[in-house]
Amino acid sequence: MNKLEYFKIGPSVDPKITGVFKSTQLNDFVDSENSSRERFEKYQLPNTKIKLPIDQYDLHKFKLHDNSFPTNILYSSFLDLAGMFVSENLMEVIKNNNTLYKVFFFEASAYQKSLKLKYYFMNIIENIELINFEKSEFIFDKRIEKVRTGGVTFKVKNIEEYREKKMNTPIEFSGKVILPKKIVLNESYDLMAGPFSSNFLISKNLKDKIVSAGINDVSITPISYEEYYLS
């Protein structure tokens, strides 16, 4: 098996980059008079990594914080579990000769005062079917990484067996959660959803392209725990 090098990609949360302190950049609607608790809950999308039913969402009513800088990925309170709001520049880098798995782009807008900014919502779908479960490894360990002890390694045959163990944790592992330790993929891609987490992953190849394009206002960090391999 070949080891794969992936990185987590997302918006920067550094106030020096985003322009806002203790706040997201995108956290309100431009037509706030039409806002309601139900509207906010709808756009905060509790289900992770699903195909966005685009006909049910208006992606042109978002308000950018007055002090925010228009970064290449917006730090958003909306739809953040299903993807990211990206600039046209970053979208073009991502789409140019890269392999993408279940990634869809929808036109979007962010209003800052009287200025309308063009963005795209990059919808990234769950990819459980890419995983070779029989070759992958999981552990029971603490959720918080800094207090993990190494856990107990185990294997499962398929997603159903994984879910069964997750729902019915043995009593000896009380207080611990199932975590991926070694994820073996049947196919590799330059951009995909991180399985078993809320992360979105890019290959070293795509990371290098983003850096070479001079895009330095997004967060790209190494994966600190699980390892990825190509079957």
Whether residue 76 sits in one domain with residue 108: yes
**Is the Cα dihedral 105, 106, 107, 112 positive or negative?**
negative
222 shares a domain with 160: no
User: Are both 193 and 205 inside the same structural domain?
Assistant: yes
Task: Please check whether residues 175 and 144 belong to one and the same domain.
Answer: yes
Number of domains into which the chain is organized: 2
Assess whether 33 and 112 both reside in one domain.
yes
> Scanning the structure block, which residue is given the tokens 């394009």?
213
CB burial string 98-130: b at 16+ within 10 A, e below: bebbbbebeebbbbbeeeebebbbbbbbbbeeb
Query: How does pLDDT run across 48-100, given as a tens digit for each residue?
Result: 667 888 888 899 999 999 999 999 999 998 988 889 999 999 999 999 989 99
Same domain assignment for residues 18 and 96:
yes
From edge to edge, which strands make up the β-sheet containing 2-4? 2-4, 227-230, 177-185, 137-141, 152-154
Report the distance separating Cα 115 and Cα 137, nearest Å: 49
Residue 46 pLDDT > 60, yes or no?
A: no
Residues 202 and 178 both lie in one domain: no
Q: Is the pLDDT of residue 149 over 70?
A: no
Say if pTM beats, i.e. exceeds, 0.75: yes
Percentage with pLDDT > 70 across the chain: 92
The three-point CA angle 92-113-35 to 5° equals: 95
150 and 197 housed in the same domain: no
For 201, the enclosing helix (H) or strand (E) is: strand 200-203
Q: Assess whether 148 and 205 both reside in one domain.
A: no
Give 168-198 pLDDT, tens digit per residue: 877 667 777 788 889 999 999 999 998 888 8
Same domain? 122 vs 195: yes
Question: What are phi and psi for residue 136, nearest 5 degrees?
Answer: -85, 165
Are residue 63 and residue 13 in the same domain, yes or no?
A: yes
Helix (H, G, I), strand (E, B) or coil at 105: strand
Q: Write out the residue range of the structural domain in which residue 15 sits.
A: 2-127+188-230
- Could you tell me if 194 and 116 lie in one domain? yes
The per-residue pLDDT of the chain, averaged, comes to: 89
